[in-house]
A and B are shown apart, each in its own frame.
Chain A
């Protein structure tokens, strides 16, 4: 039996920001979102999540509050004790800033350079740098780009693919503008930046860099800050909602190690736990 998840009361005044809506979906792995209108008058959820500053006025009772703040919001007079979340939130303390391009990046697995090299060997590819820009001489078909990025030793990327590439741990080369679109502050730490005419050569140099694992790890780490599941965890932690125990704890442990829910490892572990909870259908995991 799945233990009851804590409730998260949603305070909405207008159509929520699409990223905030996605964040609620991510949070639903650990909490049960409930619209405030569905709660009894004096009922207090485990925490409130207001989807705008104005909506936060609807919070009542002695429970923690998070507030989504968009660019242009006046956060100089924040709601007392509230956890600020969103593009306008300060990146400090309990507050959680949500960067540009945030989304479900966890679905892209990290491919470290060593595994990339072995995968290339398996399919008979040479060590190679690729160019996925639409303007490139031979652009890669759209559907094949993630595969190419997962195999590449380094890649020239555009605005459309830079976050996917970073999530995959690809060593990226891009122009200043492309990098600024996702990482205005930390761009130079995670992407090699060059002018339009020098990107290919830069990628070739990067493809044989001695510190590939470190660069790949930094790329993944940066993408993780924009992954909404990670953002959701940080927000819930700031609200004092910790991991639940028991079988959910096992799923949490698997998740924090970056284990895809559909992987053989996750199936094996959750299957073993299911035999104890009576959820198991039959057979020995």
Chain B
């Protein structure tokens, strides 16, 4: 299955190749359960990589040994870090799990300290690296997928939220906001996930099902159109690493409504300037949606400022930063 990290890696390879570098993407299968979490890390440790330079990205690829290793950290194994207390983490509080967590942090420190340069995908990831590992990383931002296809459009009668329907993305906040809205704004949440049925049930029980659309997976063309026609974008996940949705919304000229604990999203959403930062409650999100609905000029102004900021990102800058001082052999 291909997720955000895989797309990110492929886009990086494409950018490096475009810049004239011979580039190869190396992947190893990884088991994510605690009992086997060290296996792939150790495998990376032993894999011979004969290249002039290695750019490691997410866990566990940064365990690769290379005299010229640079890390652009997407994320560590979050189940052992900031998400250790989440219901889906198997790093529980029993002695065996705590020892595995201790060892994993130690391994991470050794592997990450070896890098001759360390970047992170966002300030959020850099802060986690500092907080848990005591290691520096410089945020290096990149354009989101579809950056060259997203465009502005009219401010329609719906707010849009493209996201996986999973607990860490909190699509339920938006569904629960509908009954609090004074305006008749509709809600479109595109994406698949395990929460779909419960979201439908919530809307039915609140009597708001008619204002909620859950089209599931939408192809790129439709996604671009949904962004372009929205009044604004609501994106309030829990401690997001980076959040392509924010940048995609900006490139479509839309303001973003978010929550104070949405992590990387807050690096881009400046309250009243590029979007609205709510207190994260359904009522507060509803009030923000109403604000956009009653003042579309303000929505357009915020969207335009977001677009200006997101347009500054480029893969050329990313490649230049990652290879700075590397030279050619």
Contacts and interface: CB of A to CB of B under 8 A. Distances in A.
B84 A118 contact: yes
B93 A112 contact: no
B45 A257 contact: yes
B110 A112 contact: no
Interface stretch (B2-10, B130-138, B163-171, B272-280): B130-138
Interface stretch (B12-20, B101-109, B177-185, B212-220): B101-109
B131 A253 contact: no
Most chain A beta-carbon contacts within 10 A, residue among B93, B103, B107, B110: B103
B111 interface: yes
A258 B133 CA distance: 15
Given A114-B81, A121-B93, A249 B46 contact: yes
Nearest to B84: A118
A119 B134 contact: no
A265 B38 contact: yes
A111 B109 CA distance: 12
Interface stretch (A34-42, A48-56, A188-196, A207-215): A207-215
Contacts of A114: 81, 101, 105, 131-132
B84 A112 contact: no
Nearest to B45: A253
Contact of B98 (A118, A214, A269): A118
A259 interface: yes
A114 B130 CA distance: 12
Contacts of A118: 84, 93, 98, 101
A118 B91 CA distance: 10
Contacts of A110: 102, 106
Contacts of B134: 112, 211-218
B42 interface: yes
Contact of B130 (A214, A259, A264): A214
Contacts of A249: 46
Interface residues on A, range: 20 to 34
Contact of B132 (A122, A213, A264, A269): A213
Contacts of A115: 98, 101-102, 105
Contacts of B102: 109-112, 115
A254 interface: yes
A71 interface: no
A145 interface: no
Nearest to A114: B132
B181 to A, nearest CB: 39
A217 B133 contact: yes
B130 A213 contact: yes
B131 A213 contact: yes
Contacts of A122: 93-95, 98
A253 B111 CA distance: 11
A263 interface: yes
Contacts of B46: 249-250, 253
A256 interface: yes
Interface of A: 109-112, 114-115, 118-119, 121-122, 211-218, 249-250, 253-254, 256-259, 263-265, 268-269
Interface of B: 38-39, 42, 45-46, 65, 81, 84, 93-96, 98-103, 105-107, 109-111, 130-135
Given A250-B42, A258-B103, 4 more contacts: A109-B102, A118-B93, A213-B134, A265-B42
Q: Closest 4 interchain pairs by CB? A: A213-B134, A214-B134, A217-B134, A122-B93
29 contacts: A109-B102, A109-B106, A110-B102, A112-B102, A112-B106, A112-B109, A112-B134, A114-B81, A114-B101, A114-B131, A115-B105, A119-B98, A121-B93, A122-B95, A212-B134, A213-B132, A214-B130, A215-B134, A249-B46, A250-B42, A254-B42, A257-B106, A258-B106, A258-B107, A259-B103, A263-B103, A264-B96, A265-B38, A268-B39
